[in-house]
Each structure stands twice: as structure tokens, then as C-alpha cells.
Amino acid sequence: MLTYDLELAGVLADLVPEEQSGRFTVQELVDHDHEGRYRVVKLAADGQMVGGAADDPLRGTRTRYMRADGRGFLLRFEGATSTFLSLPALKRTALQAFIGLMQAGRMQTMREVQRDGEACYEIVVPGSGVTTGMLVTLDRARAVVTAADARLVEFSAAGTAADRPFTIDFALRSRELRPGTTAQDSDFDIAAQPGDIVLQGDASNNPIWDVLARALGAIPAGTAKAGSPGGSRN
């Protein structure tokens, strides 16, 4: 179980609903004995859940949660299998890419530091910028990783993506290891909150398409007329 603070701003925040931008607490639970079994929830300052994702291939369930325009939406799918597009895997890949950019900078420095009694390496890229010829350019960045297992403890970066500014801040609050035998089914599920809109259906091998198809399928027939603004055209 990882608990960390996460803040996205700039173009990264523009890609998500207003309720999803800003600073949040994230709780991430991963079952290392079963590939693709995880639960991630995003909590606002008042403790309200504003986003979440959970996959449990042992029970064949896939759950997604989002708050937008003041309403909560819970999407639940049955018959789901493990997928390489899990949220923890995507987060890990993105952070690895950012650290790779940092290591490419000529001005980056590294030193040994201590965090909660653990030996760590601190990598810092000053404000000189790291231009890679890619869509992402770092103006400054800082990462703290444990020396023993390269576990990320702190990360912050600012730069541009497609010529638009962004910032990201990550700080690990706590890490708790539990025996896999203590896991409960509810640990890898997300429950609906009062007033939430709940949509249910069968899962496919494409979790991103599942969400889109379920949302489109919930639109009542005749809501938009063919040829009208927002409607379909033949």
C-alpha cells in the first residue's frame, strides 16, 4: 500500500476534468502475487474520492470512478482479465521516462541523502533545461530514489509538453507491506458513493474502450438527432 501526494498543473491538468486537477492524496494497493490486481483511488483535501481505478482478474471485475461537474460516475465491468494497461504500470512507465530525461541532461547532479533512515540518491536537474528533440522538455527536475531497490520517494518536474507548460509533484507519504494472504475482495474494488451514477456491463480486452463504449451506450436513444449539432450524420 502506497500513500502519496500528487499535484498536476499546466497542460497535464488541462487533460482532465476540473475536479481532477490540483493537489490530491493517492492510495495505491498492488497485489504482487497476482499480475494486474490493483486498486488506486484519488482523494481531495476533504477526503472525498474524485477518481479511481481497480482491476481484479481473480474475480473478473474492472471498476472505474470519476467525479465531473459535481457528480460521481462509477463504471463496473464483469469478465475482465489482466491487462498490461494497468494504472500502476502506466504511472511507473511515465516516471521512468521522466527520470530518463533527467539523466540525459548534461547539468544533472547526483548525491547521496537519507530519507526515513534509508540511503537514497537525489538527482537534480537545474533550471538550464533538457532539450531532447521530443515533445517533452524539462526546465527543472528533482528525484529521490532509494539506493537499495530504486523505489521513488520524491519527484518534481517542470517543463513543456508540445510547447505548453506543465508541472508535476510527487511525494511518498508511506509504504506498507502486507502478506498476500490477508487481501480481501473489497481491497480491489470501488464502492459507489451516495448519489453516484452507476453503469454496468461486460468487459473486453480493451479497458479504455470499455469506458467509452459504456458511457456512449448510456446516452438515451433520440437524445441527438441526425444532422443536428452534436448529432450523427449519414
> Rounded mean pLDDT of 39-58?
91
Residue 45 pLDDT greater than 50, yes or no: yes
Q: Where residue 15 falls among pLDDT bands split at 50, 70, 90?
A: confident
Mean pLDDT, all residues of the chain = 80
DSSP one-letter string for 163-212: TEEEEEEEEEEEE----GGG--GGGG--PPPTT-EEEEEE--S-HHHHHH
* pLDDT, position 185: 82
Q: Which CATH number fits domain 2-217: 2.50.20, 1.20.1500, 1.10.3470, 2.60.40?
A: 2.50.20
Q: Where are the domains of the chain?
A: 2-217
**Residue among 155, 60, 84 nearest 115 (CA):** 155
> Rounded mean pLDDT of 170-195?
89
pTM attached to this predicted model: 0.72
pLDDT tens for 113-138 read 998 888 998 988 776 555 555 677 77
* pLDDT, position 83: 65
**Which grid coordinates are listed for 20?**
481532477
Q: Where residue 234 falls among pLDDT bands split at 50, 70, 90?
A: very low
In whole angstroms, give the CA distance from residue 42 to residue 87.
12
> Rounded mean pLDDT of 181-197?
89
Q: Where residue 3 falls among pLDDT bands split at 50, 70, 90?
A: very high
Query: Cβ distance 100 to 123 under 8 Å?
Result: no
Residue 207 pLDDT greater than 80, yes or no: no
Q: Where residue 189 falls among pLDDT bands split at 50, 70, 90?
A: very high
Query: Cβ distance 152 to 172 under 8 Å?
Result: yes
